[in-house]
Structure 1
Amino acid sequence: MKWEGNRESDNVEDGRDSGGGGGFRLGGGGIGLGSVAIALVAGWIFGINPLTILGLMSGGGGGGTVQQAPAHKPPTDDKMAKFVSVVLADTEDVWREKFRAAGGTYREPKLHLFRGATQTACGQGQSAMGPFYCPADEKVYIDLGFYETMRTRLGAPGDFAQAYVIAHEVGHHVQKLMGVTDKTDNMRRRMSETQYNAVSVRVELQADCFAGVWAHDAQAARQVLEQGDVEEALNAATQIGDDTLQRKARGTIQPETFTHGTSAQRVAWFKKGLQSGRVNDCDTLQSREL
Structure 2
Amino acid sequence: MQWFGKGSEDVEDRRSGGGGKTILGGGIGIIVVVLGLIFGKDLTGLVGQLPVEGAGQQTEAKTGVPEDAEGRFVANVLQSTREVWEQEFQKMNQTYENPKLVLFRDGVQTTCGYAQSSVGPFYCPGDHKVYIDLSFYDDLKNRFGAAGDFAQAYVIAHEVGHHVQNLLGISEKLDQARGQVSEKEYNRLSVKLELQADFFAGLWAHNAQNLKDFKLDEGDIEEALTAANAIGDDKLQKQATGEVQPDSFTHGTSAQRMYWFKKGFETGDIKQGDTFNSSNL
Three-state SS of the structure 1 residue aligned to 2:196 is: helix
2:55 matched to which residue of 1?
Answer: 66
**Count of paired positions:** 276
User: 2:110–2:127: 8 Å Cα contact kept in structure 1?
Assistant: yes
Which structure dedicates a bigger proportion of its chain to helix? 1
Range with greater deviation from structure 2 (69-78 or 274-283): 69-78
Equivalent AA in structure 1 for residue 55 of structure 2 = V
Per the alignment, residue 16 of structure 1 pairs with: 15
What is the aligned partner in structure 1 of residue 77 from structure 2? 87
Residues 65, 75 of structure 2: 8 Å contact kept: no
Q: Secondary structure at the match of 1:180?
A: coil
Letter in 2 for 1:13: E
2:111 is matched with which residue? 121
5+ residue gaps in structure 2? none
Map of 1:106 onto structure 2:
96
> CA 1:226–1:147 in structure 2 vs 1: closer, same or farther (change >3 Å)?
same
| Corresponding residue to 1:244 among 212, 216, 235 | 235
Q: Could you tell me how far 1:77 is from its partner in structure 2?
A: 3.5
In structure 2, C-alpha distance between the alignment counterparts of 1:85 and 1:181, rounded to whole Å: 25
1:8-47 aligned within 5 A: 8-23=7-22, 25-27=24-26, 42-44=38-40
Match of 2:274, as an amino acid?
A: D
CA RMSD of aligned residues (A): 2.2
Match of 1:259 among 240, 250, 272: 250
Normalised by the size of structure 1, how large is the TM-score? Answer: 0.89
Q: Is the 8 A contact 2:195 2:252 kept in 1?
A: yes
Which amino acid counterpart does residue 2 of structure 2 have in structure 1?
Answer: K
TM-aligned CA distance change 1:66 to 1:134, over 3 Å: farther
Match of 1:205 among 195, 199, 212: 195
Contact 1:96–1:106 (Cα < 8 Å) also in 2: yes
Bigger drift between 279-288 and 233-242 goes to 279-288
**Change beyond 3 A, Cα 1:13–1:26:** same
Using the alignment, how far apart are the partners of 1:106 and 1:30 within structure 2? Answer: 28
SS of equivalent residue, structure 2 residue 76: helix
Q: Show the counterpart of 1:54.
A: none
Matched, 1:216 2:237: no
TM-aligned CA deviation for residue 287 of structure 1: 0.9
Task: Kindly indicate whether residue 159 of structure 2 is the aligned counterpart of residue 163 of structure 1.
Answer: no
Judged with a 3 Å threshold, the aligned counterparts in structure 2 of structure 1 residues 255 and 96 are, in CA distance, closer, same or farther, namely same
Partner amino acid for 1:18?
G
Distance in 1 (alpha carbons) for counterparts of 2:263 and 2:44: 27
**How does the TM-score come out when normalised to structure 2?**
0.92
* 1:142 counterpart = 2:138: no
